[in-house]
Amino acid sequence: MGKTHMVEFAFGGIGTNPHWDTPRNPWDSDDHRVCGGSSSGAGVSLWEGSAFVALGSDTAGSVRVPASFTGAVGLKTTKHRWSTAGLVPLSTSLDTPGILTKNVADAVIGFSVIDPGSTAPYDALLADMRSRSVSGLRFGLCEAWFEDCDPGIAQGVEAALSLLAKAGATVERVTLPRVEAVVAAAGEIFKRGGLAAPEFAALINDEFGDWKATLDPNVLARFEKMEAIPAVDYISRRNRLTALAAEADEALNGFDAIVGPTVPITAPTLGDVAQPEEYLRLNMAALRNTSIVNLLDLSAVSMPVALDAVGMPIGLQLVGRSGDDAGLLSVALACETVLGTASALLGTPPMVARN
């Protein structure tokens, strides 16, 4: 077992931590690009060969963002599916354990070992999931996730979905009013701090007061605002999200997954995030598509499907109904059978090849 670098208190989607060196994204051998957060070292550990399965926690995308940025597979489980005992709680309402692997088949193995509901041996579960075909699967496009993407990202995801359609899947390129409305409402709540911000502020003030003065400046700069969220606003958000989650789960009925880019931006360089204002902008952008899944208590998988315009990995996000983690993994495995694994699709990261 090993320990990888991560964002301080898991509060960030970029992957930097001022107390430690920032892990280097292996897909760019010229510029030091970030690996995504908060599980920033997890994706790198897979490509360097030091891990078969990397563990992380996902509160707004902390497993799926690094998976997308580093060309790995990331599984965000449904809340309460796996225990959070032993995890430092960023947000008791949203924290969910997850795993990163180099391909979906490895994720199935990791899932079968960890999941308390998996009673079959991993080889039997893998064989059963492999029997599922792409033909007949029904995917719904969340068009909001395709907006304002960096060059090559939307196109890479669209190309992957076209291949799935040719293999027999139904990809509905239409606006899904109920899904879009729920996504928009949850997105607005996320922009105002969601549930994680006030819960994190309470954690620091109640249990880690001595750490406050040395917190990451990018976190500390927002702390006063986080502390100032009124209790009535926090409770209102919780109630609204509970109602939205029920609507989202019902809207997903009939779809095997809602799909779109996992992250709409290219993995930034350290220089890109050096200024606090730019860090905040890129952090919000990195978590835009993933945070909705946590707020609505859904299951999700990010899987690599292409390289963007500057040669960095692109993730396809598959979002399933609450509790349907195993079913969603089987859908992802069927997709991987058609699209190929990261190694086959993307090749070897330049820094890994060079070393």
Q: pLDDT tens digits for 198-230? A: 999 999 999 999 999 999 999 888 888 898 888
DSSP 135-151: TT-EEEE-GGGGTTPPT
Does the structure show a pLDDT above 70 at 177? no
For residue 119, the model assigns a pLDDT of 79
Average pLDDT, stretch 19-36?
A: 96
For residue 102, the model assigns a pLDDT of 97
Does the structure show a pLDDT above 80 at 25? yes
Does the structure show a pLDDT above 80 at 173? no
For residue 5, the model assigns a pLDDT of 93
For residue 133, the model assigns a pLDDT of 95
Does the structure show a pLDDT above 80 at 182? no
For residue 245, the model assigns a pLDDT of 87
Element (H, E) at 96: strand 96-101
For residue 192, the model assigns a pLDDT of 83
What is the distance between the terminal CA atoms of the chain, rounded to a whole angstrom?
23
Helix residue ranges, H only, the chain: 40-47, 64-70, 104-114, 122-130, 153-166, 177-191, 196-207, 217-227, 231-251, 276-286, 288-295, 325-339, 342-346, 350-354
pLDDT in tens, 81-140: 999 999 999 999 999 999 999 999 999 999 999 999 887 778 888 888 888 999 999 999
82: tokens are 């796996």
DSSP 228-248: T--HHHHHHHHHHHHHHHHHH
Does the structure show a pLDDT above 70 at 176? no
Average pLDDT, stretch 164-187?
A: 79
Contact (CB, 8 A) for 2 and 45: yes
For residue 31, the model assigns a pLDDT of 97
pTM (predicted TM-score): 0.95
Out of 3.90.1300.10, 3.40.50.720, 3.90.380.10, 3.40.50.300, the CATH code matching 8-354 is: 3.90.1300.10
Of 79, 73, 61, nearest to 7 by C-alpha is: 61
For residue 83, the model assigns a pLDDT of 95
For residue 355, the model assigns a pLDDT of 72
For residue 212, the model assigns a pLDDT of 92
For residue 111, the model assigns a pLDDT of 95
